[in-house]
Amino acid sequence: MRGIIESYKKFFEGKMAQYGNEFGFREYFFYIVGIMGSIIFVGYVSKLNIRYMIYLGLLSLLIIPVLIVSIVNQRNEQKRFEMVASYLTSSLPIFVRNPKILYTLEEVSDLIEYRIQDVVFKAIDYIKTNITDVNAEETALAMIEKEFPNSRITATHKLMLSIEAKNSKDYEAPCLILYDDVENWINRVYEYQKDLKNRRTKLIMLTIMTIFMNCMFIWIYNTNEAFSGFENYPIYQISTFIFLLSMLVVLTLAISKLHGAWIVNDSNINDIRKAEAAYNDLKIKRKPIRKGDIIISIILLIMFGFCAIYLRNAPFSIMCLFGIILVLSATATRKANNIRRVGKAMSLEFPAWLRTVSINLKNMTVMNAIDETKQFASSILREEIDKFEVEEYADPISIRPYVNFLKEYDLPDVTSSMKVLYSIQNLGAMDVQTQISGLITRTQRLLEKSEKIRNEDNLNGIELLGFIPMGLFTAQTLVSLFLMMQVMMTALTTATNI
């Protein structure tokens, strides 16, 4: 609902031109007329009477702004990705040439455009005008991160700040590792955008073909005198109205959901908060059964006894008993669900964390590289790193601390990667470079895997939309066939009586 309201506001206020796409009612007038004309034509072919045609037209006017805003959002998200890709691929080579943040921003500002250029200009202006701010560069870069909440922009900025603060001399290798990661990410996104476009096209074509098949079905049978008149039944008018409106909603959802906004804005605050709540439950070892669960179970148990003994109402008694079973099942599986939620959050965050560790290994020992990442990690991962460090310092020779890292969440990729870090910690200088190269390759594989999981999560339920058009078409066809049989039987009865 909130997204729909935002769509209306953007549509009527025209607040979507910041990425070079002109937007407004006037620009899309003929687009709106075309959609409305198509809807009216389909309604006419489907033999909707004037009342339902008006209903369909009015509801379409409510849906069309959402549809148009969704189309513009797709173009904007593509622009946002292109801006982020251009910024990242330009910033890192410039910074390698001269490792100064202000110099990098000034140089890159001429190579980018649209909204990100405006934000970079503001960042440059802040650094130049706020001389007294000792963290001026960090504050300025945070402006860009706020406008474009992308993990690779954040990683690039953190690396630049670290190199400039430490006046590091050996900075080329970490920058090249991150640049290679950015290039791989861009290539994966292009492939994923192709996949999104194919899914969107298939779903739109399926919806259009379903509407076309329904129109052909109605037209063919309406021309047969034996079936003519079935469209006058109220049930046909209602079912056809619902069918056409549902097709328009499916079309809107297909366009509005398959936009890829999560590709650039790749941090989900809500999922992080849920994972943190689940982690806190596990950390304090909260008892599986809560007071609320006990109270609900007691209430349901009293209702069950009252219905079974006094009212002798078997269906309601069974419902109460079923409710008790559900509550007890939920409490019994709460710990497992919390472990699963935290484990999934860690499986998504770990590859990005491992990337940072890999970058740090060019200039640091394994333990220093891990400790340095705490400032970039989530609260959950930060606490797990603290536990790892305590265990490692207590037993610096054993592999046990590395194997135990996030062990309770059953993440094989994490365990195998930590074993590689242990090997690097205990190998000679010649073997370390080989192991680091292997670790970087492993990191890219894990990043690709985590991005695929995140992408599929964001598309969860969208695939089911493909079953809706055919399901609705089948239901509409059955209604029409039933009414045709009714018309034919009425005609036969009348002929027999004559």
> What integer is the mean pLDDT of 349-353?
87
d(CA 482, CA 383): 65
Look at residue 301 in the predicted model and tell me its pLDDT: 60
pLDDT digits (tens, 9 = 90+) for 171-196: 888 888 889 989 988 888 888 888 88
| Residue bearing the bigger pLDDT, 258 or 321 | 258
pLDDT band at 144, cuts 50/70/90?
Answer: very high
CA dihedral 239, 245, 248, 249 (to 10 degrees): -110
| Residue bearing the bigger pLDDT, 167 or 121 | 121
| Residue bearing the bigger pLDDT, 158 or 426 | 158
Q: Is 395 left (phi over 0), alpha (psi -120 to 50) or beta?
A: beta
Look at residue 293 in the predicted model and tell me its pLDDT: 56
d(CA 232, CA 225): 14
> What integer is the mean pLDDT of 225-244?
79
Look at residue 204 in the predicted model and tell me its pLDDT: 83
d(CA 4, CA 442): 41
pTM (whole model) above 0.85: no
Look at residue 124 in the predicted model and tell me its pLDDT: 94
Ranges of each domain in the chain: 2-79+200-262+471-497, 92-187, 263-458
pLDDT band at 333, cuts 50/70/90?
Answer: low
| Residue 20 pLDDT greater than 60, yes or no | no
| Residue 197 pLDDT greater than 60, yes or no | yes
Residue from 100, 135, 101, 133 nearest 120 by CA: 101
CB 81 within 8 A of CB 264: yes
- Supply the mean pLDDT for the chain: 79
| Residue bearing the bigger pLDDT, 236 or 123 | 123
pLDDT band at 2, cuts 50/70/90?
Answer: low
Residue from 269, 203, 275 nearest 469 by CA: 203
| Residue 13 pLDDT greater than 70, yes or no | no
Look at residue 320 in the predicted model and tell me its pLDDT: 61
pLDDT band at 302, cuts 50/70/90?
Answer: low
Look at residue 87 in the predicted model and tell me its pLDDT: 94
> What integer is the mean pLDDT of 339-366?
85
pLDDT band at 303, cuts 50/70/90?
Answer: low
pLDDT digits (tens, 9 = 90+) for 382-436: 999 999 999 988 888 888 989 999 888 888 888 898 888 888 887 655 566 677 7
Looking at the chain, the whole-number percentage of residues with pLDDT higher than 90 is: 11
Work out whether the CA dihedral 61, 67, 72, 76 comes out positive or negative: positive
SS3 at position 289: coil
pLDDT band at 374, cuts 50/70/90?
Answer: confident
Look at residue 115 in the predicted model and tell me its pLDDT: 86
pLDDT digits (tens, 9 = 90+) for 70-102: 777 777 788 888 899 999 999 999 999 999 999
Residue from 478, 53, 41, 80 nearest 266 by CA: 80
pLDDT digits (tens, 9 = 90+) for 269-288: 667 788 888 888 777 655 45
Looking at the chain, the whole-number percentage of residues with pLDDT higher than 70 is: 77
| Residue 441 pLDDT greater than 90, yes or no | no
| Residue bearing the bigger pLDDT, 349 or 223 | 349
Q: Give residue for tokens 């991962």.
A: 381
pLDDT band at 166, cuts 50/70/90?
Answer: confident
| Residue 146 pLDDT greater than 80, yes or no | yes
Q: 1-15, 61-75, 108-122: which has the minimum mean pLDDT?
A: 1-15
